[in-house]
Amino acid sequence: MSAGRAAAGPDAAGLAIETHDLSKRFGQQAAVDAVDLAVPHGAVFGFLGPNGSGKTTTIRMLLGLAAASAGTVNLLGRRMPEAFHEVLPRVGALVEGPAFYPFLSGAANLHRLDAAGRHTVPATRKARVERALERVGLEHAAGKRVHAYSLGMKQRLGIANALLSPRDLLVLDEPTNGLDPQGTREVRNLVRSLAHEGTTVFVSSHLLAEVDQMCTHAAVMSAGKLVAQGPLSDLRQAGSTRLRLVTPDDGAARQVLTRLGLAPEPAEVDPGKPSPDGGTIVAALGASLQQSAPLPEEVVAHLVQAGVRVRGFAVERESLEDRFVALTGEGFDVAQ
């Protein structure tokens, strides 16, 4: 996983979003500081970070809604904002929550918004509005005035607006905000189906669980800086791995682990509450299970051969939440 600039070469042609040294300053404050994003075509890309880390400001610069203080942006292979009129019709976006006419129905709002587009086709508008409402599960509320919509319904109506025309890139800022669990699952399934159809989906979120279930790639922001990015599988594997051993033979076990090149941490035992199974020994296996390190089953075999009674044994990999806290120094919401 890399937090740096994407390498030049053939891969650059396969990026839906590419930024170099993208920065935004407000006076002396750097809201976004030299961000190099590389979002592959066809990816579901999670843009993660605690609230206030610079995610929305970055999105606004990507879409030309805010001017960058420095750096460059390419969307769908074209430089922004110079190619604004050519690129944006191919991009759907939901940024900082949807805004609608409250006393018009959901369908009427979508009709008006679609009519405002320079490249929309009036003859197919009705069918496209119906299809967009159906895709987000609002066909039953199409004739209902928006002021009576719940927050989750308004969020889904905003996504429907982004889907009125075929999109090569969909940018969603906190798309599950205000949704109940069923609505969250519907949005998750919608995002997956769009990616399956070839749309690149860029999802900004502070909800770790949603990104973990939905995305193929991710980037992590902290205090305006990009601290990691790449395939989500790489991010999962970047954390440390350790073994946890429960045994009454603490001394002998530590000797075996040390002989195998492992460094046991102090035993997790409370002298005031002795366990019948013995104490717990934790030892790091490194960032990943390399060939040079003993395999877990080999560790157990050595322990047994040395006469160590093994009451419990587990291999634990650092969780995504642990990894993000290590990267940002802040916690992430892991559920709604």
- Same domain? For 34 and 129 the reply is yes
Q: What is the pLDDT of residue 287?
A: 45
State how many domains the chain has.
Answer: 2
Domain shared by 161 and 109, yes or no: yes
CA-closest candidate to residue 241, choices 308, 312, 294:
294
Distance in angstroms (rounded) separating the CA atoms of residues 159 and 151: 13
Range of the domain at 186: 10-237
For residues 311 and 253, the answer to whether their CB atoms sit within 8 Å is no
Boundary (domain end) residue, out of 237, 254, 289: 237
Res 83: pLDDT: 87
Predicted pLDDT at 41: 93
Pair 86, 194 in one domain: yes
What pLDDT does 331 receive?
53
Half-sphere exposure of 152 (CA within 13 A, CB side): 15
Residues 167 and 105 in one domain: yes
Cβ atoms of residues 154 and 175 within 8 Å: no
CATH code of residue 100: 3.40.50.300
Q: What is the pLDDT of residue 223?
A: 86
Tell me if 331 is assigned to some domain: no
What per-residue confidence (pLDDT) applies to 124? 92
Residue with tokens 């076990």, as numbered in its chain: 253
Tell me the average confidence (pLDDT) per consecutive run of 10 residues in the chain, 336 residues long: 41 79 92 94 90 89 92 93 88 84 95 86 92 90 93 87 90 82 82 88 85 88 88 74 88 90 69 60 65 78 93 78 64 46
Choose one of 237, 263, 284: the last residue of a domain.
Answer: 237
Same domain, 38 and 184: yes
- The predicted pLDDT at position 137 comes to 86
- Map tokens 């891969």 to a residue: 11
The reply to whether 150 and 47 lie within a common domain is yes
Q: Kindly tell me the burial class for residue 4, based on how many C-beta atoms sit within 10 Å of its own C-beta (0-12, 13-18, 19 or more).
A: exposed
Give the residue from 216, 237, 258 where a domain finishes.
Answer: 237
Instruction: Report the SS3 class of residue 90.
Output: helix
CATH number, position 279? 3.30.70.100
pLDDT at site 325: 67
